[in-house]
Structure 1
Amino acid sequence: MTGTTLGGRYEIGERLGAGGMAVVYRAMDLLLRRPVTVKVLRGEFTSDESVVRRFRREAQAAASLSHPNIVGVYDVGHEDDIHYIVMEYVRGRTLKEEINERGPLPAEEAVRIARQIAEALKHAHAHRIIHRDVKPHNVLLTAEGRVKVTDFGIAGAATGTTMTYAGALLGTVYYFSPEQAQGRYGDERSDLYALGVVLYEMLTGRVPFDGESPVSVALKHIRETVTPPREVNPRVPPAVERLVMKAMAKEVDRRYQTAEEMIRDLEAVQRRLSGWSAGGRPEPSFLGPGARDRTQVVGRTAPAGPADDATRPGDRPGARAAV
């Protein structure tokens, strides 16, 4: 693909990465003279008309989103059997790369990132767009501290499709909600469950459920009780743990019902963490009465969770879009 010009406008440059549905390239918009990211649908899906239709429909819907925490979709097109989405080029790295390199993030930083992801979801949900594939690989971090969520267009196209690229499916199932693991479509609350998983991983350095196959991981999301974050990393404040556990409730009615509701709790936690950190005092237990506080002992943290296709060797960790 490198050297190809799509639509007479987008000159394809270096390959930045690949996922289960698409290959991602840096490109140059020859008309506006600006760098862009081009996501090309994998060849094995181009013969499936239902996938192609969903790919285009979801991309067009995602293009309607305009928010500072969402990677913008500029264009969608096809040339012969090549179907592609043109997106904002973000110079940064994925949240998955950040976790893999650093391990557990400080609670204040993790909550700040989660709040920006929630703001992106709130905007998308208001436009009746569900992401359905919220994971650290689809979250970009800029050098300026901005969080950008990507892949709103392609996530919906993958729904209901048999994913032959096993690594990508395994990478996604770590963040499945129980209803998605049962084969149901999911709604806004599925996105919020996935955000709870992402926050869990930021705080502990590992995903809450692991397994040797996608099916085994999916069954754990349905049946098993998650290990509380503080049992993995005692530095996690009790209130942050409660927020994670509510987001990851197996019954949808016990979770956060809207992104706005989750944002309110994230804001409250963020304010309290910021205030106590500035004062040099230990983080308190808050957001709810009767919380059990445990001795703040720094223990051995768990190893980073398994990386999926988006972080396999060969992909550049620098400026790129998540896959």
Structure 2
Amino acid sequence: MVSEGMILADRYEILSRIGTGGMSDVYKAQDTKLSRFVAIKVLKQEYAENANFVTKFHAEAQAAAGLIHSNIVGVYDVGEDKGLQYIVMELVEGITLKHYIEKKLRLSVKESISIAIQMAQGLECAHKAGIIHRDVKPQNVIISKDGKVKVTDFGIAKAATSETITSNVMGSVHYTSPEQARGGYSDEKSDIYSLGVVLFEMLTGRVPFDGDTTVTIAIQHI
């Protein structure tokens, strides 16, 4: 159980919870060694207890830590303490693209293109390093208070087992590529397709395909 004031790894002081997702909770913390604020993503218990998932989670986090780009949320550290599996990331004060779209309903062509270009630049950096995101969606894009667009959660989707994907797919299936919908191999083009869906949503305020179940939505992408 994470609580305010808790110290992880004799270094990170938990200050407050700032977000939650299907697989993890996110906290604002103080790095007491480097005197800076960071974001710490802590895996929820059901995933932290899955040894296979944890191994992949650490491997993907280590790969993502090598990505240094202004349009990517930086990964600083990954570890385990007090039974908690966590990843330490750059703290970006801002709003997710999903919330931004919900707030504005539709974005202008100029703003949509600007955001898409910044996302593409971050993805290009990852692709050149051989890393595929696999879960590009507005929830994984943060717009900072100064307008900088940053993509986050690289590699987390790859770490997920089929069980974890099943529990989280509803939020991602709207952006899935045809090959992912078929259960096939993902590559750079998968991320580009998902980016196109995000651009469509920014311009129109809605996703191109919708339905009552994940299956009916996925089929429309094929």
User: Which category describes the TM-score, using the shorter chain as reference length?
Assistant: over 0.9
Alignment partners' CA distance in 2, 1:195 and 1:146:
17
Instruction: Name the aligned partner's letter for residue 114 of structure 2.
Output: R
- In the alignment, what sits opposite 2:60? 58
Mark the runs of 5 or more structure 1 residues left unpaired by the alignment.
223-323
Q: Match of 1:175?
A: 175
Residue 203 of structure 2: aligned partner: 203
Q: Secondary structure at the match of 2:170?
A: helix
Residues 98, 139 of structure 2: 8 Å contact kept = yes
Structure-1 residue corresponding to 2:162: 161
- Per-residue deviation at 1:93? 0.5
**Secondary structure of 2:175's match?**
coil
Give the aligned residue type for 1:199.
L
Q: Answer 1 or 2: which has greater strand percent.
A: 2
C-alpha distance in 1 between matches for 2:120 and 2:166: 29
Mapped partners of 1:146, 1:15: distance in 2? 23
Q: Which moved more, 1:198-207 or 1:47-56?
A: 47-56
> Is 2:104 the counterpart of 1:105?
no
Aligned counterparts, 1:218-297, within 5 A: 218-222=218-222
Change (3 A) 1:14 1:165: farther
State the alpha-carbon separation in 1 of the partners of residues 100 and 49 from structure 2: 36
TM-score under structure 1 length normalisation: 0.66
Q: CA RMSD in A?
A: 1.3
Deviation per residue, 1:108-143 (Å, 9 max, x gap): 110010000000000000000000010001111112
AA at the equivalent of 1:201: E
Distance, in Å, in 2 between the alignment partners of 1:189 and 1:165 is 23
**Structure 1 Cα separation of the partners of residues 182 and 121 of structure 2:** 27
Q: Mapping of 1:111-190 within 5 angstroms?
A: 111-158=113-160, 160-163=161-164, 166=167, 168-190=168-190
Within 2, Cα distance between the matches of 1:86 and 1:161? 25
**Is the CA contact (8 Å cut-off) linking 1:17 and 1:23 kept in structure 2?**
yes
Once residues 31 and 219 of structure 2 are traced to their aligned partners in structure 1, the CA distance between those partners, rounded to angstroms, is: 44
| Contact 1:120 1:149 survives alignment (8 Å) | yes
2:35 alignment partner in structure 1: 33
Q: Which structure has the higher relative contact order (CA within 8 Å, separation 6+)? A: 1
Match of 2:93 in 1: 91
Deviation (angstroms), 1:153: 4.1
Residues 60, 153 of structure 1: 8 Å contact kept:
no
CA distance in 2, matches of 1:207, 1:114: 15
Candidates 21, 24, 45, aligned match of 2:23? 21
What is the CA-CA distance between 1:91 and the residue it aligns to?
A: 0.8
Q: Which amino acid aligns with 1:214?
A: T
Normalising by structure 2, we get a TM-score of 0.95
SS state of the match for residue 164, structure 2? coil
SS in 2 for 1:64: coil
1:192 and 1:164 map into 2 onto residues whose CA distance is 20
Residue 7 of structure 1 and its aligned partner are, at CA, apart by 0.5
Query: Are the aligned partners of 1:180 and 1:186 in contact in 2 as well (CA < 8 Å)?
Result: yes
CA distance in 1, matches of 2:157, 2:7: 25
Runs of 4+ in 1 over 4 A off after TM superposition: none
Mapped to 1, the partners of 2:67 and 2:162 lie a distance apart of 24
Count of paired positions: 220
| Unaligned residue ranges in structure 2 (runs of 5+) | none
Whole-angstrom CA distance in 1 between matches of 2:157 and 2:81: 22
* Larger of the two Rg values belongs to structure: 1
Residue identity opposite 1:26 in structure 2: K
Deviation at 1:21, TM superposition (A): 1.5
Is the 2:134–2:155 Cα contact (8 Å) retained in structure 1? no
